Each structure stands twice: as C-alpha cells, then as structure tokens.
C-alpha cells in the first residue's frame, strides 16, 4: 500500500512540482510520513541527495503533530456528535488504543520507541493520536515525538540510502 501511495505522488506530481515538494508532501501524509518520504527520496525512486532529503522529510512529518496533539480530541468529540462520522471516529480510536499499552506504561520513552521504530501502524501521526487520547501533556508528548522522528529518520536513511541504495 505504501508503495502504491508513493507511486501515486511521484506519478501525479512529478514534473509539476520539484522532488523536494513531493518529499515534503509525502512526509506530511498519514501512513506514509517520514518513512515514505525517505523511501521515495532514496536512489530507488527520486534520487534526492541524503543531506537534502532528511531535513525536508523531518519538517514535513513534524508540521501536523502539534495540531494533532492539541486539537484531535476536540475534533473527534465534534465528529462523534454526528451520526455519519461517529463510527469512523470510534474505529480510529479503537485502532489507536489497541497500540497504546507501551506508551501508557512508559509514556515518554514508549512514545519515542513507538514513533521511532518503523513498523506498520506506528509513526508520528498514530503516536500523536494515542498521546492525545490517553492524555499525555503536550510538553511531554511533543519532544518524545520529535525524538522518535529523528530515530526513524536515522533508521530509514540507513535503509533507503545504504541498503536500497546499494541495491539500486
């Protein structure tokens, strides 16, 4: 699924906007985030220099996070008041809370690990949603998520540029 979404961005935006803008947008999108951005940046797809791609993907991934941490519970409360959107919100909350055990237990470091270790269903968006839903304060959640994004950036840079770059 990630590959299809990355391909969609590259195919539909390539030639219309620069490679950097594509990376930035990919890094802002849930599911793809920084991980998808750095995969797209690597030699296998867009071939953007590593030193250029890393900050673009980090900033793109971090921009939505304060809004999620500060506003998502209010938005979800409003959405739950509508008949049409309530099932969607309940499904998103249930899915997020099913992954919350280590974050609840270890808070800061649990959030760093959840955001930083590139596994399916983890990342800054989901980490922010879980932090907001379980009530972790912004001043604790945001630095943990930033640190997790830096960990993910390191791991994904190694994967995209060293491993996949060596293959392609």
Q: What is the mean pLDDT of residues 81-95?
A: 94
Angle at 50 between CA 44 and CA 56, to 5 degrees: 105
Decide if pLDDT at 151 tops 60: yes
Q: For the chain, how many residues are written?
A: 168
Does residue 24 contact residue 59 with C-beta atoms inside 8 Å?
Answer: yes
Decide if pLDDT at 1 tops 70: no
pLDDT for the residue 162: 82
pLDDT for the residue 40: 93
Between 52-56, 93-97, 149-153, 164-168, the lowest mean confidence (pLDDT) is in 164-168
Does residue 48 contact residue 27 with C-beta atoms inside 8 Å?
Answer: no
pTM of the full predicted structure? 0.90
85: helix, strand or coil: coil
CB atoms within 10 A of CB 104: 15
Q: What is the mean pLDDT of residues 73-102?
A: 94
Residue carrying the six token digits 């220099």: 49
CB atoms within 10 A of CB 116: 22
pLDDT band at 164 (very low <50, low <70, confident <90, very high): low
Higher pLDDT, 165 or 23: 23
């Amino acid at each position: 699924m990630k590959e299809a979404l990355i391909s969609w961005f590259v195919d539909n935006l390539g030639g219309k906007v620069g490679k950097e803008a594509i990376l930035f947008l990919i890094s802002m999108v849930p599911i793809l985030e920084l991980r998808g951005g750095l995969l797209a940046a690597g030699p296998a797809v867009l071939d953007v220099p590593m030193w250029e791609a890393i900050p673009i993907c980090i900033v793109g991934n971090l921009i939505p996070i304060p809004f999620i941490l500060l506003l998502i519970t209010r938005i979800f409360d409003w959405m739950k008041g509508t008949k049409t959107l309530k099932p969607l919100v309940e499904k998103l909350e249930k899915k997020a809370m099913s992954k919350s055990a280590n974050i609840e237990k270890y808070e800061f470091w649990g959030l760093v690990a959840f955001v930083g270790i590139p596994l399916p269903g983890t990342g800054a968006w989901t980490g922010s949603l879980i932090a907001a839903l379980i009530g972790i304060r912004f001043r604790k959640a945001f630095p943990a998520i930033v640190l997790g994004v830096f960990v993910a950036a390191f791991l994904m840079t190694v994967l995209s540029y060293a491993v996949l770059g060596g293959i392609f």
